[in-house]
Amino acid sequence: MADRKGKFAGDDPFEIAKSWLAEAETAEINDPNAIALSTVDQNGMPNARMVLLKDIETLGAGDGAFVFYTNYESQKAQELDSAGKAAFVMHWKSLRRQIRVRGTISREDGPQADAYFNSRSLKSRLGAWASKQSRPLSSRAALVAEVAKVTAAQGANPDRPPFWGGFRISPVEIEFWADGDFRLHDRFRWSREGRGDPWKIDRLNP
């Protein structure tokens, strides 16, 4: 597309996304990798929450995925497993840009998940063991007590819990948006039928 220049230029949407994130890492004060993840429950009721994107995988030939980690027993994980698809938006006020993604879901619970878990601080790893994410909690004191119990049981080098790991979003649609004067924003949508299929790129009205 002739007018897809500058920040929008490139033949691989995952490389463009990585470039935008790298720019945001120098400009955003907190959590430039935060995404608003959207799921639906078994009744079709939508849900949204902020999570941290941990990897943008690039596999060549315009293929790749977006990876984040969570408790597999959490509400979000149950909704992801049930629906098999999700969407998210990543918005940077400092750059006045955003990326929207929709795609299918698969788990990442192998060596890659182990490596990421082991890279976290000890307190975060113990917290992952202690938290029964999304379920009712009687008090903060009860949570602190559970952390102490887990610390005694797991020691200084806990393994990744069997109920904790990653999710990979393989997109069928990625939209790059940049703020424009007088709300004449620039929007480019990359879409494909499925993983491995060629991308179609459309400029969208603001």
Residue 200: closest CA among 170, 175, 169, 168 = 175
Q: Of the listed 107, 125, 183, 189, which one is catalytic? A: 183
Alpha-carbon separation of residue 58 from 19, 63, 99 (angstroms): 12, 6, 16
Which amino acid, one-letter code, is at 119? S
Q: What is residue 40's three-state secondary structure? A: strand
Q: Tokens in use for 157?
A: 């080098």
CB count within 10 Å of CB 68 equals: 21
Q: Tokens in use for 121?
A: 């601080």
183 given a catalytic annotation: yes
CB 87 within 8 A of CB 38: yes
Question: 């109920």: which residue's tokens?
Answer: 163
Residue 206: closest CA among 190, 180, 185 = 185
Q: Tokens in use for 58?
A: 């690039």
Q: List the catalytic residues.
A: 183
